[in-house]
Structure 1
Amino acid sequence: MDIDGLRSRLDSAGQGHLLAFWDTLTDSEKQSLYKELDHMNFAEINQFFETAMQLSKNAADKVDDLLEPLPAEVCGSVSRTDAETLEKYNSIGLQAIGSNSVAVLLLAGGQGTRLGVNYPKGMYNVGLPSGKTLYQLQAERILKVQQNAKELTNKDCEVPWYIMTSEHTKEPTQEFFASHDYFGLKKNNVTLFEQNLLPCIGFDGKIYLANQHKVALAPDGNGGLYKALTSSTVLADMESRGIKYVHVYCVDNILAKMADPVFIGFCLNKGANCGVKAVEKSIPTEPVGVVCKVEGRYEVVEYSEITLKTAEKRNSDGRLTFNAGNICNHFFTMDFLKTVTDPSTESKLQHHIAKKKIPYVNSAGEIIKPTEPNGIKMEKFVFDVLRFATSFAVWEVLREDEFSPLKNADGAAKDTPTTCRQDLCSLHRRMMLQAGAKFVHKDGSEIPHIPSNRNKAEAGDGQRTCEEFNEIVCEVSPLVSYSGEGLNSIVSGQSFQPPVTLELDKDGKLQVSQGINKS
């Protein structure tokens, strides 16, 4: 260990305090701290901090005058596209999957802190009748879309699944998948890789120590994906498999469609090298980033950067001018990914800051847990690369069909296990109704498709939960249907008494359960 050289580097960067406890450490603690610090580029970290803080100061400046609406020619909408065209997009997407050209990439670095659990979000069970976790639902959707592509193309095909974890989520995620035999996927088609970490820094620019021999570190945001793809072997693995298109999404959306063939087909039909899914903003003041153009380049602009006057602008048809709500769901070609992961491009992505309450060691060696934000964590966002797109596409999907994030514990106003469960049950119920099924009470009378005002009032604020109104409990395994296809032959003309589950057993045989409440 060249401790004198390290001390000199730290002093030059104004971070000499990181060795304040060196003489009191054990040999193993010294080795651990030295290894951690020796790999850091402190001049670069200082520059990251200065740039991020300056950008944060400028974030209060409104960008209204720089905004441009999305050009109509790059946009498409599932609700304003005819059935024949939707089927064309679906076929194009399945053809790409059938030729082994598509991979899915999951952003799963976040812990379940806001959920009140100490394990990765993907392992969370929201209380569905099946008890399936987010990871299992996603794995089964991959299995089903592979099957659908094979049926169309008559080719065996595989969709490799790349999962970006963090230091905190990688090991438990690996153990979880191994203990569940990868939910039926081939082990070599599930690749975990780790995003990078950056030091947590006080408002004075000083890096915090988490304890006397370890730096306080945090994941570098989902935009750390682009550096992680090259620092790992993932990009090379994609190329070796002949992957041409990558679908990127976040772990917490229970309605996310893996390798969505309609989305992929739409982007390919547009000739896009970069695409995003979006949902229509519900109200002008909805706190969600919007996909638009800024000075001629595609970007996601945070709601805080737009004035109310601009947020309320409407087109002649009455729809909001800036209405494409970002849901962190992207399509990239491999050529585009190779461009944005190149260091000359990736280095242009700026860090955003999040003010946090960061536990740290004070000068007396005591661990302090602040009650107010005392520093920042720096992160990049996955959508920061949109501005490098040379051909772009935006596919608007229905919120009730494709976006229900899991962020908060039950008791919060939204994005909870209950709302996720309710939204998935609602989607599956609508899938069955569209396939010709009927839902009935115990006495055989049909349950109305639309809840009555009385039921809405009883539920409070128009919300109906699975527990309060068990007639809406309906779960269709992704192994049975990816997005409603094939259900006609199973449920058309039949009546079902909720709760209803459609599942495949280990031999691939359909199992239908109804009218039984599981406690």
Structure 2
Amino acid sequence: MGLKQELTEKLERHGQGHLLQFWDDLDDERRKFLATEIASIDFGQLDRLIVEHVRGDDAAAAGEIQPVQVDPIEVVRMPQTDAERAARRRATEAGEEALSAGEVGIVIVAGGSGTRLGYNGPKGTFPIGPVSSASLFQIHAEKVVALGRRHGKQPPLYVMTSPENHATTVKFFEDHDRFGLDHVRFFLQGQMPAVDRETGKILLAAPDRLAMSPDGHGGTLKALAAPGEEGCLPSCLDEMGGRGVRTLFYFQVDNPMVEIADPTFIGLHRQADAEMSFKVIEKLTPEEKVGVVVTVDGKPQVIEYSDLPKALAEKRSEEGQLAYWAGSIAIHVLECSFIERLIGVHRLPYHRAIKKVSYLDPAGQVVKPAEPNAVKFEQFIFDALPESSRYVIVETDRAVEFEPLKNAVGPDSPATVHQRMSDLFGGWLEQAGAVVPRRPDGTVPFAIEISPLFALDAHELKSKIDPGLVVERPIYLR
């Protein structure tokens, strides 16, 4: 049986025979590429997703959250008493022991581009240092290097890329001598085909190419377990096991404020014998666009802000605080054994996203739709939480640890990130005895930046500057 006939029979069984409509116009190399893309698709799974998310009424109706099912989740709040501060110190010591033993690895999700920033390149290469213009990648990498200096063992770093930015990301690290990292490994995020929102037909991006899109940050877990470099390397998870890594610290590249491998968070996770843990911030308004960690029918779960019923989003306690306030900020700790169990026996659910996707029409012309025309299928890492037998949810201070970079202007933009970083570092300097001017609203009037290689936190900074220092202009300590 010839290749075309074999592919035709397979595709026709799933109603996708149109994918070969340009086959006779392709040369052997392009036919091989198309055949490889088709072979990468789990059509049985795709058929189920199309029935559920395209041809059916969608999960929005079947899985709608009812207010009676939902309760606030228990959170380890910011310490307020001496006893709570002492408990935090014990947790910090437990986390420091894990770091010193080399049992912690770090995962950065970095498959995105800088399109929304008006930037041509992987988002991790965006220059965000308030004074230095250091990239997101540099800031994160320097934190990892500084952790190694402090704890005697540098945690291995794993960077998840996408097919679109993989080569550029690897080259960026190589061009900067890997920022001094002892071990960094890049692994590819999985992809799913985009389908027409009316028919469920897979869209063609070119005569020899399917319209593929990343499978969501939940795909990180499957990608960690996948063999590397065309099967020539062990999976990242297997490699971690060989290095003695038990616990993974996970975050997304666009937040330069993350306290990477925070020993207190790791210690709280380990003290609870947890399989997966979350950091959360207090939502300030019902409309804030962060998912909320709750319990549904007694099980932990994250509800996206867009799916939280209005009555719950606006509900307040007697003290006036939002009842459902625990906002997820994509900072997690997971046990490697938990990831292995999930990959082995359970698949995270897929969610649908309605998007505009350019495609090839039957005449071979590229169509750029004016309205959303396609369904993309994505997994979310927070859907692993209900599968964990034990977990801990820990509050953090948004002023210290959360200011993501998403937009060119307005909220979550370079301007807001620069200000938040400068305010944080200004506070460190003040704690060390320096004098830092402030505007009436408490913000710092100029850029301040402290490299992790100079000081990883306010306590370390105290030993490196003279009390009484007056900061009168932009300053970068490195």
TM range (shorter): over 0.9
2:230 alignment partner in structure 1: none
Asked if the contact 2:275–2:390 (Cα under 8 Å) also holds between the matched residues in 1, the reply is: yes
Asked if the contact 1:279–1:399 (Cα under 8 Å) also holds between the matched residues in 2, the reply is: yes
Choose the corresponding residue for 1:183, options 179, 190, 205. Answer: 179
Give, in whole Å, the separation in 2 of the partners of 1:431 and 1:22.
Answer: 63
2:212 alignment partner in structure 1: 217
Query: Following TM superposition, by how much is the alpha carbon of 1:113 offset from its aligned partner in structure 2, in angstroms?
Result: 1.4
Asked if the contact 1:52–1:351 (Cα under 8 Å) also holds between the matched residues in 2, the reply is: no
Query: Following TM superposition, by how much is the alpha carbon of 1:59 offset from its aligned partner in structure 2, in angstroms?
Result: 7.3
Give, in whole Å, the separation in 2 of the partners of 1:279 and 1:59.
Answer: 30
- The change in CA–CA distance for 1:435 and 1:85 in structure 2 (over 3 A counts) is farther
Query: Following TM superposition, by how much is the alpha carbon of 1:221 offset from its aligned partner in structure 2, in angstroms?
Result: 0.5
1:362 alignment partner in structure 2: 361
2:191 alignment partner in structure 1: 197
**Deviation digits for residues 280-302 of structure 1, max 9, x if unmatched?**
00112222210011112111101
Choose the corresponding residue for 1:422, options 419, 444, 459. Answer: 419
1:513 alignment partner in structure 2: none
1:495 alignment partner in structure 2: 470
TM-score (norm 2): 0.93
For residue 282 of structure 1, give the secondary structure of its aligned residue in structure 2.
Answer: coil
Choose the corresponding residue for 2:428, options 427, 431, 435. Answer: 431
Give 1:68-87 correspondences, 5 Å limit. Answer: 68-71=71-74, 75-80=75-80, 82-87=84-89
Give, in whole Å, the separation in 1 of the partners of 2:215 and 2:315.
Answer: 35
Give, in whole Å, the separation in 2 of the partners of 1:276 and 1:499.
Answer: 35
Give, in whole Å, the separation in 1 of the partners of 2:311 and 2:324.
Answer: 11
Asked if the contact 1:129–1:475 (Cα under 8 Å) also holds between the matched residues in 2, the reply is: yes
Give, in whole Å, the separation in 2 of the partners of 1:60 and 1:115.
Answer: 34
Give, in whole Å, the separation in 2 of the partners of 1:94 and 1:266.
Answer: 11
2:44 alignment partner in structure 1: 43
RMSD of equivalent CA atoms: 1.8
Asked if the contact 2:350–2:379 (Cα under 8 Å) also holds between the matched residues in 1, the reply is: yes
For residue 389 of structure 2, give the secondary structure of its aligned residue in structure 1.
Answer: coil
Give, in whole Å, the separation in 1 of the partners of 2:273 and 2:247.
Answer: 12
1:403 alignment partner in structure 2: 402
Query: Following TM superposition, by how much is the alpha carbon of 1:80 offset from its aligned partner in structure 2, in angstroms?
Result: 3.4
Give, in whole Å, the separation in 2 of the partners of 1:479 and 1:391.
Answer: 35
Identity %, equivalent residues: 34
What code does the residue aligned with 1:5 have? E
What code does the residue aligned with 2:422 have? C
Give, in whole Å, the separation in 1 of the partners of 2:305 and 2:133.
Answer: 36
Query: Following TM superposition, by how much is the alpha carbon of 1:307 offset from its aligned partner in structure 2, in angstroms?
Result: 2.4
What code does the residue aligned with 2:427 have? R
The number of equivalent residue pairs is 464
For residue 485 of structure 1, give the secondary structure of its aligned residue in structure 2.
Answer: helix
Further displaced range: 167-176 or 280-289: 280-289
Asked if the contact 1:250–1:329 (Cα under 8 Å) also holds between the matched residues in 2, the reply is: yes
What code does the residue aligned with 1:167 have? P
**Deviation digits for residues 384-438 of structure 1, max 9, x if unmatched?**
100011111011101111001011113xx21111111111111111111122211
Give 1:377-396 correspondences, 5 Å limit. Answer: 377-396=376-395
Asked if the contact 1:68–1:292 (Cα under 8 Å) also holds between the matched residues in 2, the reply is: yes
Query: Following TM superposition, by how much is the alpha carbon of 1:127 offset from its aligned partner in structure 2, in angstroms?
Result: 5.0
Query: Following TM superposition, by how much is the alpha carbon of 1:378 offset from its aligned partner in structure 2, in angstroms?
Result: 0.7
Query: Following TM superposition, by how much is the alpha carbon of 1:13 offset from its aligned partner in structure 2, in angstroms?
Result: 0.6
2:253 alignment partner in structure 1: 251
Choose the corresponding residue for 2:67, options 61, 64, 68. Answer: 64
What code does the residue aligned with 1:382 have? I
For residue 376 of structure 1, give the secondary structure of its aligned residue in structure 2.
Answer: strand
**Deviation digits for residues 204-258 of structure 1, max 9, x if unmatched?**
1000000111111001001011211221311101111111111110000010121
- The change in CA–CA distance for 1:59 and 1:437 in structure 2 (over 3 A counts) is farther
Give 1:39-438 correspondences, 5 Å limit. Answer: 39-53=40-54, 54-58=57-61, 61-71=64-74, 75-80=75-80, 82-126=84-128, 128-150=130-152, 157-186=153-182, 189-203=183-197, 204-232=199-227, 233-342=235-344, 344-346=345-347, 349-410=348-409, 413-438=410-435
Asked if the contact 1:277–1:327 (Cα under 8 Å) also holds between the matched residues in 2, the reply is: yes
For residue 487 of structure 1, give the secondary structure of its aligned residue in structure 2.
Answer: helix
Asked if the contact 2:41–2:192 (Cα under 8 Å) also holds between the matched residues in 1, the reply is: no
Give, in whole Å, the separation in 1 of the partners of 2:251 and 2:98.
Answer: 18
TM-score (norm 1): 0.86
For residue 116 of structure 2, give the secondary structure of its aligned residue in structure 1.
Answer: coil
Give, in whole Å, the separation in 1 of the partners of 2:149 and 2:40.
Answer: 45
Query: Following TM superposition, by how much is the alpha carbon of 1:341 offset from its aligned partner in structure 2, in angstroms?
Result: 1.8
2:231 alignment partner in structure 1: none
Asked if the contact 1:78–1:396 (Cα under 8 Å) also holds between the matched residues in 2, the reply is: yes
**Deviation digits for residues 305-329 of structure 1, max 9, x if unmatched?**
2222212222344322211001011
For residue 305 of structure 1, give the secondary structure of its aligned residue in structure 2.
Answer: coil
Asked if the contact 2:422–2:449 (Cα under 8 Å) also holds between the matched residues in 1, the reply is: yes
Give, in whole Å, the separation in 1 of the partners of 2:244 and 2:190.
Answer: 26
**Deviation digits for residues 445-477 of structure 1, max 9, x if unmatched?**
xx3x4x22xxx6xxxxx9x6x7xx32xx21111
- The change in CA–CA distance for 1:98 and 1:242 in structure 2 (over 3 A counts) is same
Asked if the contact 1:202–1:375 (Cα under 8 Å) also holds between the matched residues in 2, the reply is: yes
What code does the residue aligned with 1:190 have? V
Mark the runs of 5 or more structure 1 residues left unpaired by the alignment: 151-156, 440-446, 457-461, 504-519
Mark the runs of 5 or more structure 2 residues left unpaired by the alignment: 228-234
Give 1:479-494 correspondences, 5 Å limit. Answer: 479-491=453-465, 492-494=467-469
Further displaced range: 85-94 or 323-332: 85-94
Asked if the contact 1:166–1:219 (Cα under 8 Å) also holds between the matched residues in 2, the reply is: yes
For residue 392 of structure 2, give the secondary structure of its aligned residue in structure 1.
Answer: strand
Further displaced range: 79-88 or 283-292: 79-88
What code does the residue aligned with 2:419 have? Q
Give, in whole Å, the separation in 2 of the partners of 1:167 and 1:396.
Answer: 35
- The change in CA–CA distance for 1:435 and 1:393 in structure 2 (over 3 A counts) is same
**Deviation digits for residues 8-44 of structure 1, max 9, x if unmatched?**
1111110000001111112222121122213323232
Give, in whole Å, the separation in 1 of the partners of 2:42 and 2:268.
Answer: 42
Query: Following TM superposition, by how much is the alpha carbon of 1:488 offset from its aligned partner in structure 2, in angstroms?
Result: 1.7
